[in-house]
Amino acid sequence: MGQDTLFSTKKTLRIGGNLLSFDSPKVMGILNITPDSFSDGGELDSSDALLLRAEEMLNAGASILDIGGYSTRPGADDISENTELERVIPVIQMLRETFPDALLSIDTFRSRVAAEAVTAGANMVNDISGGSLDQDMFSTIAALDVPYVLMHMKGTPQTMKNEAHYENMLTEMLEYFRKKLEQLAGLGVTEIILDPGFGFAKNIDQNYYLLKNMSYFKSLGLPLLTGISRKSLIFKLLNIEPRDAVNGTSVLNTYALMEGASLLRVHDVKAAMECIKLTEKIKNTVLA
């Protein structure tokens, strides 16, 4: 476990008219506007609850808030584009008005939702499908000129559990990213974060193998996002409830940071910030 020094990783992200530096890792706080998310579904069912959670995350050190209105847990129900829009657009508008300087991300695989969310005040797009579920997503990102989180996934949220088969997972994922990045580069999209997609078309052992080898993707020279917060690779292995997986999340986030993660997507911002502070201390401490 450790940093791979052979490759140079992009250290900044142009977002919201500013440069977000990854000289030290950053945290993305999760705001699920869904009734059926695996860990916190239905918790943010009022404006007051939502604003309180957002304020807590920002005060705890979150650099970005990620707003999602479509549950992507395995087997989640499909919802219409209009339903997704009805969930997220008012929330983005409210957050932008209340926290004018906050960096907001829209978590969607639909180009129309991405476009309307950015119009409403979102600063970037986080797409679980890597453009695979909407052929217009890449051209939309290019037109919007916003940063893009490119995630690895196979199938859909409804079918991905049946897609967890690979001849060589790491090389197949690397080729997936290379092809997608070539397409994005052809459209002029350069502000990109890579997400290996923990839990998406990967079983528990594959998730741990991926985490163990996450630095493999540093050869692509882009910041890496780790999204493992309270996921089944933790709570199923430990035989606990998702809400009780904060400690396990911190353990795995620490490993991810040592493997080169630049951005942690989490429910529990304070714990993630502590992981970053301690891990950075380990990396940077030198005795005279």
Catalytic residues: 231, 265
The residues near 101 (Cβ < 8 Å, ≥ 6 apart) are: none
- At residue 157, the 3 state secondary structure works out as coil
- At residue 264, the 3 state secondary structure works out as strand
Name beta bridge partners: 27. Answer: 264
- At residue 125, the 3 state secondary structure works out as strand
Write out the E strands in the chain.
12-15, 18-21, 26-32, 64-68, 103-107, 124-127, 148-151, 192-195, 225-226, 263-266
CA-based angle 12:143:131, to the nearest 5? Answer: 80
Tokens of 136: 């217009």
Residue 63's CB is within 10 A of a number of other CB atoms, namely 20
